[in-house]
Amino acid sequence: MIKALNEIEVITLFVEDLAATKKFYLDVFGLEVVYEDGESAALKMRNLMINLLEVGEAHGLVAPAPVGGPETGARALLTINVADAEAVCAELAEHGVDLLNGPVDQPWGRRTATFADPAGNVWEIAQELSPEA
């Protein structure tokens, strides 16, 4: 076990339309831009940053692995812990965000719902359910 691998600092998402995807994260998530240039925008969450990177610049970070496009389907699921899944789903709807699924109670004790950003990156909200007595 490598003990240094225990904290995520930045998640980089490859995007086709930087402006539209940045607007989504500003409007829906309410994030703050901490850095941007012509190819990227770094947005601050409470405990990490999301770096939006134009897909044309992505190869330099992952070579020799190929960069997958949004047409390949979901490639990751990013989960956000929430206190009230129903309330968050209602807020997402107010921002024009369509759910892919949910909210649904999962057998592992979470109520979840998923949605995608304009680049096809899939997010899940997850509410911890109280154990049944």
Q: Alpha-carbon distance 82 to 17, whole Å?
A: 28
pLDDT of 50 higher than 90: yes
Q: Which CATH class is domain 70-133?
A: alpha beta
Of residues 128 and 73, more confidently modeled = 128
Q: Quick one: tokens of 44?
A: 């601050």
The fold for domain 1-68 equals 2,3-Dihydroxybiphenyl 1,2-Dioxygenase; domain 1 (3.10.180)
* Cα Rg, the chain, nearest whole Å: 16
Vertex 72, ends 8 and 55: CA angle to 5°?
A: 60
Q: Quick one: tokens of 26?
A: 């500003």
pLDDT of 72 higher than 60: yes
Res 132: pLDDT: 67
Q: Where in the chain is the domain with CATH 3.10.180.10?
A: 1-68, 70-133
pTM of the model: 0.84
Of residues 52 and 63, more confidently modeled = 52
Q: Alpha-carbon distance 112 to 99, whole Å?
A: 11
